[in-house]
Each structure stands twice: as structure tokens, then as C-alpha cells.
Amino acid sequence: MIKKGKKLHEGKAKILYAGQEKGTAIQHFKDNATAYNNQKKSIIEGKGILNNRISEHILFNLNQIGIETHLIKRINMREQLVKLVEIIPIEFIVRNISTGSLTKRLGIEDGTVLDKPLIEFCYKNDNLGDPLVAREHIYAFGWANDVELDWITKQCLRINDYMQGMFKGIGIKLVDFKIEFGRFNENGKKKILLADEISPDTCRLWDATSDKKLDKDRFRKDLGNLFEAYQEVARRLNILHEETNIKPVQFGKLRSIKNRK
Ligand code: UDP
């Protein structure tokens, strides 16, 4: 069993613990759901389990096509062993269809299919509400240099290409998503790895025929059945094993079995 070290960071949906080996960490997926910069909060039982499994699947597959990620392996229902990276404080948003903050900010009609993917940069800072920034801000404040940013931008497009195809194959439109990258020193060689998570918490996923939302917008917009939607994504990805197929505990039934004695 891999032992957890001290807590390094607690975010809105995950906790990061130090790993046993230097340069590693354990990423724990919580059931907390938050939106609108933490103004809306709830607990969705089992969400963390599904996100752990879905994110593992996507990052593993990206790794198979040569995109290096922080993922080492999933270690249990809620946790994965990862490489401990220094997170670049930028959220990279990739969009294929206009929705969410883009429609609000620029008045673009919701659902407009973009001619080519649009990449946006947001400064990772909850107190400021993760504001949109330009490349020039990123250079001016030393968050990343031009070589890093060019490389990351190319990775974003490769990741988008792969994920769009993967989801298309299972009848899902990849509307947009957010990814993060981190710096890692591997045997003296500096690398930039895809980090954090890719899950229905960080992507917008619409059913290809009905446009039904299968992502965190169900929570943001009070549409209900968020867990079922995430389960549907896992089911279509063919990764919904027994352990992620959580059913509510039937207390009544348990009690009646006990009473039979
Ligand atoms: N996103 C995210 N974390 C954030 C902000 C955005 O994972 O802190 C994801 C979000 O789920 C969506 C995409 O990035 O898939 C674009 O989000 P947008 O900028 O439209 O944000 P919102 O509408 O949530 O303000």
C-alpha cells in the first residue's frame, strides 16, 4: 500500500498529499462540487470516484499517444499516484463550441461552432475569479516563457484533437475544456507535463444527438442528475466497472435482513 504523506494542498475538488517517494504526490478526488468561484457548493456522493476513473482513463490514453502527463497510476477508488509538478498558474481553456463565459463576455450565440479551436488563458487565482489574460501578461509576470507557451499551445491542440475523436466515437461533443500543466525535473531534464485532471468537472460534454449536458453544467444550472450524467460518460467510455457503479445503500433492506435472525 502506498502511504500518504502530509497534505500539500487542498483545492475545491481535490486534495494533494506528499507521496512516499520524492517527486511524487497522491491526488485525492473529493465529492465536492463548486461553481461560480465557490459561491455555489454541494456534495455529490460518488462524483470523486467517477472523476478519478475518467481522468485516469483520459490521461492514460493521452500518454499512449505521446502526451506526457503527471499520472503514474490510479491506486484506489479515489486516489492516484502522480508526479509532483510545479503548476504553471494558468488555466488553458480550449473551445470548439461557444458557450459559458465566452458567450457572456463577447455576446456570441450559445452553441456557435467555432471554425477552429480557440485557446484562452486564465490566471489561476480564485480571489480574482481566474481572470482572462493575454500572452503578454503571462510573459510580463513570468508565469511562463514564450518557448513554454508555444509548446503548451501545441499540446492543447493535440489533446483537443485526440479527445474530440475519442468522445465523437461515443456520441459526445467535446464543447470545451480546461487543462493545467506543470514543470517537472526528470533526472536533471526539465519537462512540462499535463497535470491536474480531465473529467466532466473540467470539460463540457454534450450528447451528440440531443445536446443533453453530461458535465458540471448540470450542477451550475441546477439541471439535476449530475452523478447519473458522469456515470453515462464512464459507461460510454466503457470504464464503468462495479466499483464505480455505486448504488444508494438500501438501509431498509439491510435492517430487514438483520431482523430475520
Ligand atoms: N473550467 C474549469 N475550471 C475553471 C473554469 C473553467 O474546469 O475554473 C472549464 C469549464 O468546465 C468549461 C471550460 O473550462 O469546460 C470553459 O469554462 P468557461 O470559461 O466557459 O467558464 P464558466 O462558464 O464556468 O465560467
Q: Which residues contact 245 (CB under 8 A, 6 or more apart)?
A: 231
- First-to-last CA distance in the chain? 37
Q: What is the pTM of this model?
A: 0.92
Can you give the C-alpha Rg of the chain in angstroms?
19
172 — pLDDT class (breaks 50, 70, 90): very high
Whether ligand 1 lies within 6 angstroms of the CB of 12 is answered as no
13-55 pLDDT, tens per residue? 999 999 999 999 999 999 999 999 889 999 999 999 999 999 9
- Domains in the chain with CATH codes: 7-85+225-259 (3.30.200.20), 89-207 (3.30.470.20)
Whether ligand 1 lies within 6 angstroms of the CB of 214 is answered as no
72-111 pLDDT, tens per residue? 999 999 999 999 999 999 999 999 999 999 999 999 999 9
For ligand 1, atom 23, the nearest C-alpha belongs to: 100
Give me ligand 1 centre to Cα 94, in Å: 10
Which pLDDT value is given to residue 251? 39
2 — pLDDT class (breaks 50, 70, 90): confident
Give me ligand 1 centre to Cα 228, in Å: 20
Residues above pLDDT 90, as percent of the chain: 90
Whether ligand 1 lies within 6 angstroms of the CB of 178 is answered as yes
Whether ligand 1 lies within 6 angstroms of the CB of 51 is answered as no
